[in-house]
Amino acid sequence: MGQVWHQNAVIYQVDPGRFFDTNADGNGDLRGVVEKLDYIASLGATTLWLNPFYVSPGRDNGYDVVDHLAVDPRSGSEDDICWLLEETRKRGMRVIVELVAQHTSDQAYWFQEARKTPQSPFRDFYIWSDTPEPNEPAPMFPTVEPSIWRWDEEAGQYYRHLFYHHEPDLNLSNPLVVAEVDRILLYWADMGVAGFRIDAASHMVEQAGAGQKETGYALFDRFHDLLMPRNPDTILLGEVDVSVEEMKHYFDEGERLTTLLNFWINKNIFLAMAREDASPLCKALEELPVPPERCGYCFWLRNHDELDMEDLDPEDYAFVMDKYAPDEEMRIYGRGIRRRLAPMLDGDERHLAMAHALLFSLPGTPVIRYGDEIGMGDDLRQPERESVRTPMQWDDTPGAGFSSADPQQFISPIIDSGKYGYQHINVAEQQARSGSLLQRIRELVHVWRELPEIHYHCFTHVTLSHKSVYAVRYRDENAATLMFINLSSQPVEFGCEEAEGLAGAQEVLADDNYDAPGTHLRLNGYGYRWLRLR
């Protein structure tokens, strides 16, 4: 079975405002992403996922969009995004941009016009009420927003905002609104992007169906039918935090969303690592609906938001939170963790490398968030999710190589003290040091890209006597790969007969120099070994 490009992609998530500043104004920019493309390519990444760079007040990391068709001057210009797309093409890479269409900024023209009079043609672009229902959904940020309804004095009505009060929800059951979203999609598709990461996709379904999900899914049928005739390789990557049973509706028969960001697996990765027990992750993977042939799942360790542990059993939830967020300041919204990966794993490079080996052993498209490849830390002094949105640490010069501006002008404070300060954690140091986290992840990614059999339709779990070892076999008509990842700090050894098919296998990746598999296979604490048979 042939793969489509996104099933063998490695996605690198970049926040352009916090990556590299070329004009010394303290804000990263699109030109900065271009300047660092060779670094991103050297990691083995094939696809860039750009966080929003559209015109925005910047009150929600750019997700509060004023104009979806214009580049924010702080990020650069339309020429810069064209240049970025051209330079990625030269390197055989692709670019995914954000579709933020569940809401807009309250500064957007549509909303400013909608407020003026009930007769405004834009009034019905948003969702209004004279008397909000008390049993509405809870706010997405319950510790910040008391309700999803906000009184607007000028409009003389309440408007709905599932997220922040400065982000009014769009009425996606209005055909005029959907036509505007079509225009946004076509604009960027014609510009040459490879696809869209659809923000708040499951909430868009509810809004498009006016509360009826069954009719709301048609929104994604429409997007699919709009884009695929232009480019059948376009990816629609949905932020879909829903139950396992609901996931199949987002794929339908392969003619809705292409790929789902899989939050259920994300939670269970951390549960498995916390308990040093692979079984929760194996169980969660086996529960997933098998995606249609051209579709798939997207997996990650950390992203730009909180690590949401909601939906775990109460005992598991408490265990993970106590393990990875023991202090109240590390927690957020009554459901999640506002820390980067490295501090959660105590900065242990072996542990961090193992976590990435685990990520790349899963049957889907892996995402690496900028800075995770060097073990960047977080800044818990910053509010809410800003703690995990600090500037990239390139070297140990003042400003961390991110910007030559006065650090007081930076878009976010740089981490400048402690074990995660840029003086210790930076790209230059790890480029130069053999066996660094950066070098390990680079090797891991390059090996993974040479294993086309790693695919959702080809995987089976291998049950071992050691519960701490996650073991999986991938097999197609040409090759088989067996992967073993030890979630425990203690070394383990097991008989090769437990993992049938090891005879004659060649080791393609390992955390150490091990003896060739004989009667037994050994793994260090936090060790990993990938073995391949042709």
Q: What is 109-160's CATH topology? A: Oligo-1,6-glucosidase; domain 2 (3.90.400)
Whether pLDDT at 288 is above 70: yes
DSSP per-residue codes, 267-308: HHHHHHHHHT-SHHHHHHHHHSPPPPTT-EEEEES--SS-EE
Say what the pLDDT of residue 213 is.
Answer: 82
Q: Which residue has the tokens 């015109």?
A: 55
The CATH superfamily holding the domain 459-533 is: Golgi alpha-mannosidase II (2.60.40.1180)
Whether pLDDT at 88 is above 90: yes
Q: What percent of the chain has pLDDT over 90?
A: 92
| Residues contacting 82, CB < 8 A, separation 6+ | 191, 192
Q: Which residue has the tokens 């500037």?
A: 391
Whether pLDDT at 501 is above 80: no
Calculate mean pLDDT across residues 457-478. 94
Say what the pLDDT of residue 135 is.
Answer: 67
Say what the pLDDT of residue 384 is.
Answer: 97
Whether pLDDT at 87 is above 70: yes
**Burial classification of residue 439, based on how many CB atoms lie within 10 Å of its CB (0-12 exposed, 13-18 middle, 19 or more buried):** middle
Instruction: Name the residue ranges covered by the structural domains of the chain.
Output: 5-101+178-376+430-446, 109-160, 459-533
* pLDDT (tens digit per residue) in 111-149: 999 999 999 999 999 999 999 877 678 899 999 999 999
Q: How big is the CA angle at 466 (ends 362 and 510), to the nearest 5 degrees?
A: 50
Cα separation of the two ends of the chain: 17
* pLDDT (tens digit per residue) in 9-56: 999 999 999 999 999 999 999 999 999 999 999 999 999 999 999 999
Say what the pLDDT of residue 500 is.
Answer: 82
Distance CA 341, CA 532 (A): 29
Quick one: pLDDT band at residue 455, thresholds 50, 70, 90? confident
Distance CA 168, CA 102 (A): 9
Calculate mean pLDDT across residues 479-484. 95
**Residues pairing with 509 in the sheet:** 530
Say what the pLDDT of residue 136 is.
Answer: 77
Say what the pLDDT of residue 373 is.
Answer: 98
- The structure's pTM equals 0.97
- The set of catalytic residues is 199, 239
Distance CA 142, CA 145 (A): 5
Say what the pLDDT of residue 519 is.
Answer: 86
Calculate mean pLDDT across residues 458-465. 93
Say what the pLDDT of residue 244 is.
Answer: 97
Structure tokens at 299: 């997996």
CATH of domain 5-101+178-376+430-446: 3.20.20.80
DSSP strand E in 284-382: where? 296-300, 307-308, 331-332, 336-337, 365-369
Say what the pLDDT of residue 2 is.
Answer: 61
* pLDDT (tens digit per residue) in 306-365: 999 999 999 999 999 999 999 999 999 999 999 999 999 999 999 999 999 999 999 999
Whether pLDDT at 1 is above 70: no
| Residues contacting 39, CB < 8 A, separation 6+ | 427
Whether pLDDT at 97 is above 70: yes
